[in-house]
Amino acid sequence: MSTIAVLPSKNRQIGSWDTGQSGPTLLVTAGLHGNEPAGVAACERVIAHLQEHQPALRGRFVALRGNRQALAEQCRFLKRDLNRGWGQAAIDALHKRVGDERSPEDLEQIDLLQCFVDVERSASGPLLFVDLHTSSAEGSPFLCLADTIDNRRIGLATGVPIILGIEETLEGASLEWFADRGIAGFAVEGGQHDCPDAVDNHEAVLWGLLMRLGMLPEGYVDLAPHRERLRAAVGAAPPIVEIVHRQAIQAVDQFRMEPGFQNFSRVAKGQLLAKDRTGEIRAPNACHVMLPLYQEQGDDGFFLARRVRGFWRWLAKCLRALHLSAIVPLMPGIRRDPNDRDTLLVNQNVARWFVVEVFHLLGFRKATKRSGQLAFRRRCSRRENRRL
Ligand SMILES: [Zn+2]
């Protein structure tokens, strides 16, 4: 076994396994939120198994701790959320801060960035990034991903439901750093923070990926019990949902989620979801509740999502395979951003109807709103991702 000598600092690596054969790299981070140790425990189990049985792995498995100080103190973060600030502008600002301006999370992020770059540079094949999380609510595990055909394909194969569009509502999750480079990846919400099931769910996803990517010899792991575990955990949750609303909150809002909601809970139009200092917050439509907040720290009260039906998934795949997005900039009211080929600017006075829906089908996500224009960004996907 070889560890990666270039990984810089103490306790960052949970472990790695690499027997020198070329193949995919599976890079896992766990505990980016310090109150979410389940992912770390799952990685420790997988690493211990690999070290005991010493299989001839194709490629490399690397597992990293996220927020080490917050993990030690069992809190989500010390000064700021380490799963934010991974967009390029925030990273540029991070590198400009010096000395006392740097928070504990700044130091963690700088170190992690170096690890990511080292792992990417030394990869012998395609790279898949997986970020393990848990949530304060009960309910089915699920995946968040940047919406590319490759990410959908790899994500669906895990047997865990997918949520699209989190990136539209959250600025700068770590996934974004990888998505900006065309690297395949997703975040796994494994279950409730301190529930032992969350460790088992994460472990099941990791073994499923290692086997599916052809990194381990056939039959090395019996996947049947892991698949069964995930099937039971997922229950009746739909395979793909799309975020339609984020309830952003601040401490002054005095936000309180109503009790009893889980991930994927179905709610009716008008149903009471939460209260804050302005009064009641009710569901605008029938939909699913995601990530209801039942802990102190956090700036997302809840998300609302709707199911993406099979027909739309099929149509999206066809449209993208036909590269229809290439002709979209020719349509009235739509032009390519001169500074970024993957961003389209939409003048809403001209292109009025179903703009968001059509762009979603083509794999674009809403990026920003700039003076009367909507900007949509498409995620590039490296050609080598097709080998994953
Ligand atoms: Zn988390």
116: CATH: 3.40.630.10
Choice between 207 and 299, residue whose per-residue pLDDT is larger: 207
pLDDT at 4 over 80: no
- What is the arithmetic mean of pLDDT over 322-343? 78
Q: Compute, in angstroms, the gap from residue 25 CA to the centroid of ligand 1.
A: 23
Domain that holds residue 201: 13-234
Residues 228 and 256 in one domain: no
Confidence of residue 296 (pLDDT cuts 50, 70, 90): confident
Residues 135 and 201 in one domain: yes
Q: Compute, in angstroms, the gap from residue 189 CA to the centroid of ligand 1.
A: 7
6 part of a folded domain: no
Residues 207 and 302 in one domain: no
Percent of the chain with pLDDT over 70: 94
Residues 317 and 250 in one domain: no
Residue 216 CB contacts under 8 Å (≥ 6 apart), including other chains:
55, 57, 58, 210
| pLDDT given for residue 3 in this prediction | 43
Residues 48 and 106 in one domain: yes
- Number of Cβ atoms within 10 Å of the Cβ of 41: 18
Choice between 120 and 366, residue whose per-residue pLDDT is larger: 120
Residues 223 and 81 in one domain: yes
Residues 100 and 227 in one domain: yes
Q: Compute, in angstroms, the gap from residue 36 CA to the centroid of ligand 1.
A: 6
**Tokens 């194709």 map to which residue?**
58
Model's pTM, two decimal places?
0.86
Q: Compute, in angstroms, the gap from residue 33 CA to the centroid of ligand 1.
A: 5
Q: Give the burial string for 346-381 (b: 16+ CB within 10 Å, else e).
A: beeeebeeebbebbbbbbbbbbeeeeebbbbbbbeb
Q: Compute, in angstroms, the gap from residue 28 CA to the centroid of ligand 1.
A: 14
Which residues have a beta carbon within 5 Å of ligand 1, which is an ion? Answer: 33, 36, 133
Q: Compute, in angstroms, the gap from residue 32 CA to the centroid of ligand 1.
A: 6
Q: Compute, in angstroms, the gap from residue 378 CA to the centroid of ligand 1.
A: 25
pLDDT at 2 over 50: no
Average pLDDT of the chain, as a whole number: 89
The residue among 216, 234, 252 that closes a domain is 234
Residues 55 and 113 in one domain: yes
pLDDT at 1 over 80: no
Residues 219 and 354 in one domain: no
